Amino acid sequence: MSRIGKSPITIPDGVTVEVADGVVTAKGKLGELTQEFSDIDIKIEDNTITLERGSDKKDIRAKHGLYRALIFNMIEGVSKGWSKELELVGVGYRASNQGQKLDLAIGFSHNIVLEVAPEVKVETVSEKGKNPIVKLTSHDKQLVGQVAAKIRGFRKPEPYKGKGIKFVGEIIRRKAGKSA
């Protein structure tokens, strides 16, 4: 048995979960998420969700833990939400936003303007003497991670000076420069 797949999920107050025709829907104060599932039996009994698989085929065993994690992330997202913070490290690197448009000045000849999905809330923090920070929050964990990865992909941190866009708390492996 999958250790992750067999652990039950508790449904917090204010969240409703429905299963119909292989589609799981989670509704909460922050929004609504739906996901399709197959090959796994999902049972809801008095505020706990359990997942059981019908056979021990390799692909079904692999989906057991995956589906449990996806349902947990949906429930956590509609009740508490997910957030990621990106830090811009470099001289002259700036970030600003107007609504859902994120404007990044990261050392190219022109600023990068990114139209962020409406489900993701964007916030920029710029304090004097500190690196600018971009905060992304949403109820969809996958979407937050995807947008954060896209922003980070514009200028990945380099190993010599550490300049670039990195996640807050991420440790960059540094390399020594030329030895003269």
Sign of dihedral through CA atoms 80, 81, 87, 92? negative
Cβ contacts of residue 167 below 8 Å, gap of 6+? 84, 85, 86, 87, 148, 152
Confidence band for 92, pLDDT divided at 50, 70 and 90 = very high
pLDDT tens for 18-68 read 999 889 999 999 999 999 998 889 999 999 999 998 888 988 988 899 999
- Predicted pLDDT at 62: 87
C-alpha 42/C-alpha 65 separation (Å) is 12
Tell me whether residue 175 is in a domain: no
Same domain, 62 and 92: no
| Domain boundaries, position 50 | 3-79
Same domain, 7 and 74: yes
Tell me whether residue 180 is in a domain: no
**3-class SS at 63?**
helix
pLDDT at residue 115 greater than cutoff 70: yes
- Predicted pLDDT at 179: 82
Q: Which of 79, 112, 142 is the last residue of a domain?
A: 79
- Predicted pLDDT at 2: 62
**What CATH number is given to the structural domain containing 49?**
3.90.930.12
Q: Which of 79, 98, 131 is the last residue of a domain?
A: 79
Q: Which of 79, 99, 130 is the last residue of a domain?
A: 79
Same domain, 44 and 119: no
Same domain, 26 and 12: yes
Same domain, 72 and 96: no
Same domain, 112 and 161: yes
pLDDT at residue 15 greater than cutoff 90: yes
Same domain, 94 and 105: yes
Please give the model's pTM, rounded to 2 decimal places: 0.89
pLDDT tens for 131-140 read 999 999 999 9
Q: How is residue 17 annotated by DSSP?
A: E
Same domain, 52 and 36: yes
* Total domain count, the chain: 2
C-alpha 13/C-alpha 4 separation (Å) is 23
